[in-house]
Amino acid sequence: MTQEPLTLYKLIVLYMLDWVNFPLTKAQISDFILEKEYTNFLTLQQAISELTDSGMVTAVTIGNRTQLHITEEGKSTLSFFQNRISNSIKEEIRSYLKEKNPQLRNEVSITSQYFRSPNGEYAAHLSAKEKDADLVSITLSVPFEEMASSICNNWQKKNQEIYKYLTEQLF
């Protein structure tokens, strides 16, 4: 593969990360880029890996999601080279991110994972963040893995209702 297309894919990833004020997951970026058929999955993964290796993007894995954050070095690089992204691609990115903003934000700000605790039970850890501040963080101990998994799945679906309920009951 020539370096020019790979450079464009890296710039697209940086542009997407810079345009929002929250991290995006690899899956969210992949959904957009693959839907637009800019490149294939493996090439995109190579671009993201090179961005991470070069320090332009940081990757944080939470549960089964990898969140990507643009670094100051990434922002600086983008400012020098964003003219290599066509205006039509920039508009597609902005349009996509505006349309999907609430959904994308919710996917990265609401996390849940479960694990087996030392006492043999399972712990489901649930959290909701706004920007980088924790809104709520709950860990529930349950006896069975299926229960922990169900709690995590339901948190993804019902977190707003649960947060509202907690604030109403506690304030």
Tell me the CATH number of domain 3-108, given options 3.40.50.10140, 1.10.3720.10, 3.90.226.10, 1.10.10.10: 1.10.10.10
Q: Which residues contact residue 168 at a Cβ distance below 8 angstroms, ignoring those fewer than 6 apart?
A: none
Q: Is the pLDDT of residue 1 over 70?
A: no
Q: Centre a 10 Å sphere on the Cβ of residue 54 and count the other Cβ atoms it contains.
A: 13
Q: Is the pLDDT of residue 2 over 90?
A: no
Q: What is the pLDDT of residue 146?
A: 95
Nearest alpha-carbon partner for 141 in 102, 115, 108? 115
3 or 9, greater pLDDT: 9
| CA separation for the pair 21, 166 (Å, rounded) | 27
Q: Provide mean pLDDT across the span 63-81.
A: 91
**pLDDT band with cut points at 50, 70 and 90 for residue 3:** low
Helix, coil or strand: residue 3: helix
Domain 109-170: CATH class, spelled out: alpha beta
Residue 37 near residue 5, CB atoms below 8 Å: no
Secondary structure (H, E, C), 24-62: EEHHHHHHHHHHCCCCCHHHHHHHHHHHHHCCCEEEEEE
Q: Is the pLDDT of residue 92 over 70?
A: yes
| CA separation for the pair 45, 10 (Å, rounded) | 10
| CA separation for the pair 8, 82 (Å, rounded) | 9
Could you state, in order of their start, the residue ranges of all structural domains in the chain?
3-108, 109-170
Q: Provide the whole-model pTM.
A: 0.72
Reported as a single tens digit per residue, the pLDDT across 15-49 is: 999 999 888 999 999 999 999 999 999 999 999 99
